[in-house]
Amino acid sequence: MNSDVLQGKWKQLRGSVKEAFGKLTDDDLTQAEGSTDKMLGVLQERYGYSKDQAQNEWDRFVNKYGNDSDQTKSHLRDASDDLKDAAKNVKNAAQR
For the 3-68 domain, the top CATH level (class) is: mainly alpha
Helix ranges (H only) for 1-96 are 3-20, 26-32, 36-47, 51-61, 69-95
**pLDDT for 4:** 59
pLDDT at residue number 42: 93
The one-digit pLDDT tens for each residue of the chain (96 residues) are: 555 556 667 777 888 888 899 999 989 988 888 788 899 999 999 999 999 999 999 999 888 876 555 565 565 566 666 777 777 787 788 887
pLDDT of residue 5: 59
| pLDDT at res. 89 | 80
Segments making up each domain of the chain, as ranges: 3-68
